[in-house]
Amino acid sequence: MSSYPARVSVDLSAIRGNVERLREYAGPAQVMVVVKADAYGHGLIPVSRAARDAGASWLGVAQLSEALALRNAGDTGRLLAWLYAPGAPLAECISADIDLSVPAPWALGEVRAAAAEAGRPARIHLKLDTGMGRSGQFLPEWTLMLQEAVAAQTEGLVEVVGVWSHLARADEVDHDSVRAQFEVFAEGIRLAEAAGAHLEVRHLANSAATLTEPAVHYDLVRPGLASYGLSPLPGVEPSRLGLRPAMRLEAELTVVKDAPAGQGVSYGHTYTTRSDTQLAVVPLGYGDGIPRHASNVAEVQLGGHRYRIAGRVCMDQLVLDIGEAQAAAGDRVILFGPGDDGEPTAQDWAEAVGTINYEIVTRVGARVPREYLG
């Protein structure tokens, strides 16, 4: 048992169940489980193993360091990394059989040089900007990047194995922009094939599109959020999608004490007790990734009841006003979990603080120990 009085508990059987469910949604398409940002805060290596066990033939990460960490941990399956700046250790990644995204002409130049250094061709996925307005090239520049990529393929320095893009508004079901992006993607693929690329995988769908838009599944879908059992669709519970949240955040109370009516609580006294009561201290704060915006709004569960956070969230602690509840130091508080036992969910926290469930789970700090079940 760790000395830390709080922990993230991750249910790996939930991860496996979610990935199996996503494979059903994907139909004949393969599934790339996106495990960037330490698997959305759940833990890169244990989650990746669970995802592989459940049939994820691909894993996807943003950073090269995350891809190399997976290889160092013994993962040998297909793996794509997509975010790097000039001067990155691309040769090391090519030697480790990591597929690389190529989002811009400069990147193609560096991948070519790195492949020559590594002594083997780089497997690349050319990134088309179909309307996200972020990474990749828009269609006019796409044609140029394609020509250079096919030339590098002829030299034996790269294999253009994929064409890919990302959707901006797939969480808004039936939004026109999805159709518009789909059409640009189809055109980008047509151009790539005409230029001489033999594509292994064409991929566009995130979680929302995996769940709602079979027309954009192509050969491979890239769910992140849904793999962790959270819903990308506003107003749709994970259980309705056959998904189960895998993360629970819990802590042990460090102090429970009586307090008089009229007592200000925490920095700035933004909360004042209304009657004689008890205050309980929870050893988690913004240093652990608890949003300070949760002050006086988010709820937690203690002894089967919910309590709203009293006063400001501090760096390492927050406070509850628990009235007459029977509670003592050492009692367990659930900040959020799957919601089965009436505890708040990451979605509830997101709504309380004005953000998205993605951010609530991903921001839980690295100093909070992770514990794995199932």
Asked if 23 interacts with ligand PLP (CB under 6 A), we say: no
CB of 288: closest distance to ligand PLP in angstroms? 22
The answer to whether 221 and 29 are in contact (CB under 8 A) is: yes
Among 207, 231, 266, 278, binds ligand PLP (CB under 6 A): 207
- For ligand PLP, which stretch binds (CB under 6 A), given 89-97, 187-195, 224-232, 255-263? 224-232
Please state, in angstroms and rounded to a whole number, the distance separating the CA atoms of residues 264 and 281: 14
Residue 30 within binding range of ligand PLP, rule CB under 6 A: no
Nearest residue to ligand PLP, by Cβ distance, number only? 224
Residue 126 engages ligand PLP in binding (rule: CB under 6 A) = no
* 8 Å CB contact between 31 and 6: no
Question: What CA–CA distance (Å, rounded) separates 52 from 125?
Answer: 21
Per CB under 6 A, does 223 bind ligand PLP?
A: yes
Interaction residues for ligand PLP, span 281-340 (CB under 6 A): none
Helix axes of 44-53 and 12-26: crossing angle, nearest 10 degrees:
50
Output the smallest distance, CB 35 to ligand PLP, in A: 10
Q: Which of 4, 25, 36, 218 is catalytic?
A: 36
Q: Cα(182)–Cα(165) distance, rounded to whole angstroms?
A: 9
Nearer to ligand PLP, 153 or 227 (CB): 227
Which 8-state DSSP code applies to residue 238?
A: G
Specify the residue, 121 or 224, whose C-beta has the smaller distance to ligand PLP. Answer: 224
Q: Write down the H helix ranges in the chain.
A: 12-26, 36-40, 44-53, 64-72, 90-95, 105-118, 139-154, 176-194, 207-212, 346-353, 357-362
Determine which residue in the list 39, 145, 197, 225 makes contact with ligand PLP, applying CB under 6 A: 225
| Known active-site residue 127 | no
Q: Cβ 209 to ligand PLP, closest distance in Å?
A: 8
The residue within the footprint of ligand PLP, chosen from 232, 285, 337, 339 (CB under 6 A), is 232
Marked catalytic residue, from 4, 40, 267, 307: 267
Closest to 184 (Cα-Cα) out of 141, 123, 148: 141
Name the residue nearer to ligand PLP (CB basis): 58 or 271.
Answer: 58
Is residue 238 part of the contact set for ligand PLP (CB under 6 A)? no
33 is a site residue for ligand PLP (CB under 6 A): no
Q: Give yes or no for residue 166 binding ligand PLP (CB under 6 A).
A: yes
- Going by C-alpha positions, the residue among 203, 114, 201 that lies closest to residue 167 is 203
CA 358/CA 350 separation, integer angstroms: 8
Q: Which stretch binds ligand PLP (CB under 6 A): 92-100, 154-162, 216-224, 285-293?
A: 216-224
Our separate counts of H helices and E strands in the chain read: 11, 19
End-to-end CA distance of the chain: 17
The residue range among 43-51, 106-114, 136-144, 223-231 that interacts with ligand PLP, by the rule CB under 6 A, is 223-231
When binding is defined by CB under 6 A, the residue of 30, 153, 206, 266 that contacts ligand PLP is: 206
Angle at 262 between CA 258 and CA 268, to 5 degrees: 100
Task: Output the CA–CA distances (angstroms, integers) from residue 53 to 50, 132, 160, 205, 264, in the order listed.
Answer: 5, 32, 28, 22, 51
56 binds ligand PLP, rule: CB under 6 A: no
* Whole-angstrom distance, CA of residue 155 vs CA of residue 118: 14
Size of the site for ligand PLP (CB under 6 A): 10
List residues near ligand PLP by CB under 6 A.
34, 36, 166, 206-207, 222-225, 232
Catalytic residues: 36, 267
